[in-house]
Amino acid sequence: MRLLRSTVITHLTKPFSVVSSRHNNKFIMSKFSTPKLVAKKVLAKSQGEGDGAVVRRSIGRPELKSLDPFLMLDEFSVSPPAGFPDHPHRGFETVTYMLEGGITHQDFNGHKGTIRAGDVQWMTAGRGIIHSEMPAGPGAQKGLQLWINLSSKDKMVEPNYQELLKDDIKCAEKDGVKVKIIAGESMGVKSPVFTRTPSMFLDFTISPGAQMHQPIPESWNSFVYILEGEGLFGSMDSSPISAHHVLVLSYGDGLSVWNNGSKPLRFVLIGGQPINEPVVQYGPFVMNTQAEIQQALLDYQQCKNGFEMAKHWRSQ
């Protein structure tokens, strides 16, 4: 996905803390010594992106510019002829998780394929990639795209793909809680996905009346994005929060969620180890210094240092 605006950003490198005057009895139902609470709530509002596509951007907007190591999260909806035509990336990873329909991907190294509802593409842009992401059929094609930063030592690695079909994604279920383990671990089940930046990506569906308790490494930054329904996050005496909100979580060793409503609650829980390095971003290029950004632009314009194939390639 393209991000056309030029920005220089500084990451939130430490987990949010929450100051509260409430008594500790709010944690009676928690399974954790230090439960994660909702430190910040942001509504993802619709905006245009790419060539006629619509996205709800939660991370990467003025209210939440970044959350180390995460650079952006979009919930996208794209219908032909709109899409995300040829565009470059350098210095980070993109994770595309399809919710409805399909997206066809092509790149200048000859990689081509279509991911459909429930499938995942984990792309390491590394030193450079130019690709397109276009709707694979009529009607609205919907999904999530997450941008994950790479550390300075990994920013110039060779591009790589990990693609998981719906049937290859491991799942677990217990007491009214279902989880798809895209990355990381839940209910004792581990994903095979290799994450250069240590991270977790879990898709939960909680039945009415059920609750879930997911451990999260204390040092990681983490957040929730709600897809459907509403629920209580962090403490039982909190207010219900509904779809299209991103919830930045406080410091702690795990998250508890309760569904006291009448409809299923679906959300993704995403967490990662902070990189704690400077971040300079210019659209689809994410590096550590302004000089590296200038070099990335020069490499792209002159078709060198990872962008050699750009000179003659156009997606079909």
pLDDT digits (tens, 9 = 90+) for 202-219: 999 999 999 999 999 999
Domains, the chain, in order of start with CATH, read 23-311 (2.60.120.10)
* 131 marked ligand binding residue: yes
Which is it for the CA torsion 38, 171, 271, 85, positive or negative? negative
Task: Please list the residues that pair with 77 across neighbouring strands.
Answer: 54, 142
Q: Which of 125, 127, 164 is nearest to 148 (CA)?
A: 125
Task: Please list the residues that pair with 134 across neighbouring strands.
Answer: 104
**Coil, strand or helix at 106:** strand
Residue 8 has pLDDT above 50, yes or no: no
- What is residue 188's DSSP assignment? T
Quote the CA–CA distance of 103 and 117 in Å, as a whole number: 9
Query: Max CA-CA distance within the chain?
Result: 65
pLDDT given for residue 12 in this prediction: 45
* 89 marked ligand binding residue: yes
Collect all residues with Cβ–Cβ distance below 8 Å to 122 and sequence separation of at least 6.
Answer: 93, 94, 95, 161, 162, 163, 164, 183, 193, 195
The b/e string for 79-94 (b: 16+ C-beta within 10 A; e otherwise) is beebbbebbbbbbbbb
Q: Which of 137, 54, 63, 141 is nearest to 97 (CA)?
A: 141
Residue 267 has pLDDT above 50, yes or no: yes
Quote the CA–CA distance of 46 and 280 in Å, as a whole number: 25
Query: What is the mean pLDDT of the segment spanning 47-62?
Result: 93
Q: pLDDT grade, residue 2 (50/70/90)? A: low
Task: Please list the residues that pair with 232 across neighbouring strands.
Answer: 258
Query: Is it true that the peptide bond before 81 is cis, omega within 30 degrees of 0?
Result: yes
Q: Which of 98, 150, 152 is nearest to 124 (CA)?
A: 150
Q: pLDDT grade, residue 312 (50/70/90)? A: confident
* 105 marked ligand binding residue: no
Asked if 120 and 95 count as a contact pair (C-beta separation under 8 A), the reply is yes
- Mean pLDDT of all residues in the chain? 91
User: 116: which 2 tokens?
Assistant: 């459909």
* 133 marked ligand binding residue: yes
pLDDT given for residue 173 in this prediction: 98
Ranges 15-19, 73-77, 264-268: which has the least confidence = 15-19
